[in-house]
Amino acid sequence: MTQDDQIILAVNEAGEFKGEYIPKWVGHTGQGQRHLAISVLLFNNKDEVLLQKRKHRVFNDIWDVTGATHPLHRPDGTDETHEEATLRCLNREYDIDTVELKNHGMFDYFAIYDDLCENEHCAILTGEYNGPLKLNDEVGYGYKWMDKQKFLTDIEANPASYSPWAIPAVKLLKEQDFFK
């Protein structure tokens, strides 16, 4: 199954699952259809966060949080949890198998570019990771560890340098004192 063949979970404007599954491309074309998504931001024991220079069909070659994906509807008829989707993402993007995750809640965002869009009800998860990294070159151009406070200052001063979903994710984390 390719990334575009994935089946994702549609939600209503309140972010509630509608009992409807849609192909990933349906959620990302035209005005899209609101669906569940995941952003993850890893930190280490040096008070740094892991950022990725993302390869993306629309928001390409800009900085992003550590990773991003969608909970999937699996062929066996079950749906991934936020944690399962996040661990799948970290494994695919960095070859990371295990991280203890904390879910900080949900945010909505919408961004459009020509005939493609992002129309998502997105969870932001964090976790501490201090091991080796191997970025999958299919998803990113590179990565860096950045001091939490420098990152917070930079994303607020230069939002156009970051993915559109990183800005509300960071806002939610800031409200929860993640950056202190």
Q: What are phi and psi of 84, to 5 degrees?
A: -60, -45
- Domains of the chain (ranges; CATH) run 3-175 (3.90.79.10)
Structure tokens at 173: 């984390």
Is the C-alpha dihedral spanning 13, 17, 22, 23 positive or negative? Answer: positive
Contacts of 95 (CB under 8 A, 6+ apart): 133, 134, 136
Per-residue pLDDT, 97: 94
Per-residue pLDDT, 3: 60
Please tell me the distance from the alpha carbon of residue 25 to that of residue 45, in angstroms, as a whole number.
Answer: 38
User: In this structure, which amino acid lies at residue 109?
Assistant: Y
Q: Give pTM, 2 decimals.
A: 0.94
- Identify the residue with better confidence: 159 or 115: 159
Half-sphere exposure of 77 (CA within 13 A, CB side): 0
Q: Are 23 and 71 in contact (CB under 8 A)?
A: no
CB atoms near residue 66 (< 10 Å)? 27
Dump pLDDT digits (tens) for 4-19.
Answer: 689 999 999 899 998 9
Dump pLDDT digits (tens) for 136-164.
Answer: 999 999 999 999 999 999 999 999 999 98
Dump pLDDT digits (tens) for 91-101.
Answer: 999 999 999 99
Dump pLDDT digits (tens) for 23-79.
Answer: 999 998 888 899 999 999 999 999 999 999 999 877 788 999 999 999 999 999 999
